[in-house]
Structures are given as structure tokens and as C-alpha cells.
Amino acid sequence: MVQENEEVHVLMVTLAAQGNINPMIMLAKVLLSKGIHVTLATTEASRKRLLNSSASSITNTATNSKFYWEFYSDGLSDDFDRVNNIEVGVKSIFTYSPPSVSNIIKKLSDVRKFSYVIYNPFVPWAFDVAVEHNIPCAMLWIQPCALYAMYYHFYNDLSPFPTMENPDIPIELPGLPVLCMDDMPSFIHPSAPFPLCKTLLTSMIKNLDKVKWVLGNSFYDLEKDVIDAIDQLHPITPVGPLVPPIILGKEESVKGNADMWNADDSCLEWLDKKSNMSVIYISFGSLSVFSAEQMENIALALKKTNRPFLWVVKPPENPTADGKGELPKGFIEDTKQQGLVVTWCSQAKVLSHPSIACFMSHCGWNSLLEAVTLGVPVIALPQWTDQPANAKMLIHVFKMGIKLRQEANGIISKDEVERCILEITEGPMAKEFKKNATHWKDAARKAVACGGSSDKNLDLFISDIRGFSPKSL
């Protein structure tokens, strides 16, 4: 058992994708604020970008706890295109990263003795590394608890799911609305590349019975039905929302964030000049890249509504001849009196701004959770991974948004984009969307306040890290 005056240090392991690293950083900040030292290990290929970004200087002004970066190898060169070669990247990570993380633990054994390893579902091999070094382990589930339940039921064959032969089978799971094949996350969708997805899903789920804690980046009131239902099979403990403190109206004692790209905060001055709840904020995350046709349809719809907009368009890392991911020529000049385009921004600050009316989003869980926590209605344009299921929860459980409808070719028309913008800002359900969004904003703040559901769960977990949990006495 760790004595109260002993140094307590945890090792966190994650991939460097923005959606993976953000919640790990937020949890790290909570631990640092409680006096626990944190080492965060991620891929070597991200070293330069992270250390040149605001994530490089995470400091704690309230306690003496320290934060450290470590970087492990994924067996690939820095210039390897990991986004467009996912299967090769995953196989390489599973081969090269476990011994690399193990070597980090050995290298630091004289100066940092780790009391706990915390990993997320996309580095499931970190569990085996922790076992190798006899270190207790926790998983931080970085998607909704609903996805946790879906994967668990699918993996354990507890409920029927659609197949390519029987695509119309309804998915009926305890605590969730009835789902269809289009709502399924990529890993279990019948059209998914089966060997890769099966490997990932098996690795995510197979060790759950041996993990001491499964922590969820959500809060009880938001997903109580599914949390209660899965508790009968394998509990998940919600400790969220793990979002920047500014979103929760809190002072930040641990400075620095996880943005891997430099944010253009000049957009905040632009927002200051706009009326309350007038601006359409559009951002599809750090990985989604749309076709030139889809970009043009969104652009034409924005022009037609004549509403002020702020659009985050991150230039494609690998530009293509067909203009994928790029704005139509002349769009920025044509709309300079109406909107603003930036390559990246501080989303927490933008969504917190009173001028924001709604958020057109890919529905990645980090982005959706930020919108939920700030009470901002959402127009959903999900693409892959957990996003289709997240959009289902947004519409049918949270009831604070709508989904853009695709045409047969998978493209969203300009008329559909315009329809959704008008519906969510001034349609007959607009006030109801905002009312529900505000309800979740209040509920999120209660969850993380002193004595709230997530606050209590975090205290129990931290007590276990320190060795004073009732379950370990």
C-alpha cells in the first residue's frame, strides 16, 4: 500500500490522434490537481508536433505534482502516411509499441515507480505491458458508454446485429434506442475490413475482466439508462465530461492543452462583433476530409443562408488533384463580409462564446461532449468510427440536434445543409433543441461539481491509485 506521503506516479498510454489524446490530457490534469504525478506516453512520430504545440508546457500551479512526456515507437518512419494506411499502421503498432513502452517503464524505474497504468481502448496492448511489470491497470473509455455497451454485446454475441445478408435486423440493446445498420460504429459494421476490426475489437474487450477500472468519459445523467444496464454485465464508471475547465466555468490550475495544431484565436475578436446566438460554427475534426463536391455544397448553402459562420478548414496533409478537402475557389473572398475561415481554433473558447448559435460537427465524441457541456445544439454529419452511433444518441437520447440526410451517392446536398441550418436555428423545434441542450449543460456542471456523480467516482478511483480505496483495504 502506498503511504500518504509517498510520491504517486501514473503512466498514461495513448495514440497521438487528437480525439485520443484530448481526454487523456484532461484526465491527466485532474490527477495533477490531486497531487499525482503523470507521465503520458504517445507515439514517437508525434514528438515534434506535440513539443512545438501548447501541449508541450502542461504545468501545475496548485500542487507540486509534475507532468512528463515520453514517446514510444510504432515501428514506422516519421513521414509514413498513417491516415491513409490504417491497417499497416495498426499492425505495426501492435508489433513494435508494446516492447517500446515496456522499455520506457524499465528506463524510468529508478526515478519514477509507476503505481498505475491508464490506457485507452485504441492501445489495448498496454494492458499486457502493465501485467508484465505487475502494475495495476485502468482503461479510459474515450467514446460514449453507449458504444461500450454495443461493443460488449457484439463481442460476446449477446444480441443479434445486422449483417450484409440481413441488413435490416434491428439492434435492440438494454438502455438504448433501437438502432439500425447505419447507426453502427465502423468496427462492427458489416462492411468494415473484418480482420483489422476484429483484431481491434477483440483486443479492446478481451481483458476487461482483468482491468481494475473502466472509466468513462461521460456523466451518469447523460447516459444513465445504458450505464445502469451494462452494470449488470461489466460496469463502466463515468468520470466526465473530461473537457477543458473553461467549458465547465472552472478556474484552471493546470495550464496547457492537447492541441496539436496552433489555434487561430483571432476568430474570437471576430466573434465578439457578432450578435448573440447568430453564428454557425462548422468543424469536422482533425481527420475528416470531404470530397470537393461536398465542400462546395456546404459552402453554397452557407452563402445562401446569409448567416454569419465560422468554418474550420484544416488544409489536407496530402493534397489531391481533385481538390479533396479544399474550399471552392473564390469562396473566402465572396463571403468575407459574412463569414470567417480558419485552419484551426480553440474549440472550447469558440463553443463557449455567446455568439454561437449551433455547431455543424462530425460528431466525434470529444466535440459532441463539448457541445453537450456548453448547451450548443448540433447539426450532425457523422463519417466513421463512433460518429454514426454518437449522432443517434444526439438525436434520440440527448434530443439537442438533427442529422444531415445523405443522398444515394453519399453526398449531402446544398439544399439539405440549408434546411438543417434553418431548422435548428429558427424552425419549430429550435427552442426545444436549445432547451434540451441547456439542460445537459447544467447536468454536466453538477456532475463534476464537488459531490457530483463524476466527482465522487474520480475520488474513489484516486483513492484506489493511492492505495486507500475501501476495495483494497
- Model confidence over 233-267: pLDDT tens digits? 999 999 999 999 889 887 665 656 556 566 778 89
The answer to whether 70 touches 41, Cβ cutoff 8 Å, is yes
3-state secondary structure of 32: helix
- C-alpha cell of 372? 453537450
Detail the DSSP E strand segments found in 100-146. Answer: 116-119, 137-141
**Packed helices 18-33 and 365-374: angle between N→C axes, nearest 10 degrees:** 50
Domain with CATH 3.40.50.2000 in the chain: 9-258+444-467, 266-427
Among 45-49, 50-54, 403-407, 427-431, which is the least confidently predicted range? 50-54
Q: For residue 313, give the nearest of 261, 364, 273, 278 by alpha carbon.
A: 261
pLDDT on residue 48: 80
Residue, of 464 and 55, whose pLDDT is higher: 464
pLDDT at residue number 1: 43
Top CATH class of 266-427 equals: alpha beta
Mean of pLDDT values over 84-113: 92
Residue 259: per-residue pLDDT:
60
Question: C-alpha grid cell for residue 61?
Answer: 500551479
- Give pLDDT tens digits for 338-384: 999 999 899 999 999 999 999 999 999 999 999 999 999 999 999 98
Specify the pLDDT at position 472: 38
Count how many Cα atoms sit within 13 Å of the Cα of residue 14 in the half-sphere of its side chain: 26
Contact present, 153 and 174 (Cβ < 8 Å): no
pLDDT at 63 over 70: no
Residue 253, pLDDT score: 59
pLDDT on residue 38: 95
- Per the prediction, the chain carries an average pLDDT of 90
pLDDT confidence of residue 258: 57
Which residues have CB under 8 Å from 472's CB, separation 6+? 1, 464
What are the grid coordinates assigned to 4, written together? 500518504
Residue 256 has a pLDDT of: 60
Superfamily for 9-258+444-467? Glycogen Phosphorylase B; (3.40.50.2000)
Q: In this predicted model, what pLDDT tens digit does every residue of 209-220 receive, in sequence order?
A: 889 999 999 999
**Residue 3: per-residue pLDDT:** 46
Q: What pLDDT was estimated at residue 53?
A: 65
If we measure between CA atoms, which residue out of 267, 223, 281, 251 comes closest to residue 62? 251
The answer to whether the beta carbons of residues 215 and 10 sit under 8 Å apart is: no
Is residue 65 scored above 90 in pLDDT? no
